[in-house]
Amino acid sequence: MPLSEEEQRLLEQMEEALATEDPKFVSTLRGASSRSHHKRIGILAILGFLAGIALLMTGAVTMLTYVAVAGFVLMLGGAYLALSHWRRMGEPDLPENVHPIGKSKGRASAPKHPGFMNRMEDRWRRRRDDY
């Protein structure tokens, strides 16, 4: 029997509260830490980046443009994955929507790096509140 929406919401709130209070306990319950997962993907992305350099050079030497372009695309993808996962290695093992205490800057639902629309909504609210 599936949980009702109210029960699911209540369970999620309890999980968030537990993750906020004791992040080490939550990471222990999950098994492998997300840090090792991000590290593994980061290393594979670096290897992909190096393979992309080799492909780019091979395409340049053999004058096969499609091989060089494929190498360049592989380099870009590897660099993006490596940087994004390397940054996440330093974060604690928390669910994505839970922020550690003291890191949320006063608002529990505020994202770590607000997007364009969130910034525009904040500006609109401030402008409306000023009048």
- What's the pLDDT at 50? 94
Predicted TM-score (pTM) of the model is 0.47
State the DSSP string of 42-93. Answer: HHHHHHHHHHHHHHHHHHHHHT-HHHHHHHHHHHHHHHHHHHHHHHHTTS-S
| Contact of 46 with 84, CB cutoff 8 Å | no
Q: Is 99 exposed, middle or buried (0-12, 13-18, 19+ CB in 10 A)?
A: buried
Rounded alpha-carbon distances, angstroms, from residue 47 to 15, 69, 76, 90: 36, 18, 12, 21
The pLDDT of residue 74: 94
- The 3-state secondary structure of 15-40 reads HHHHHHHCHHHHHHHHCCCHHHHHHH
For the chain, which residues make up each domain, given as ranges? 33-98+107-125
Give which of 29, 19, 6, 4 is closest to 97, Cα–Cα. 19
pLDDT values of the chain reduced to their tens digit, one per residue, 131 residues = 677 888 888 888 888 887 788 777 776 666 556 677 778 888 899 999 999 999 999 999 998 899 999 999 999 999 998 888 877 766 555 555 545 554 444 455 555 566 777 888 888 888 877 76
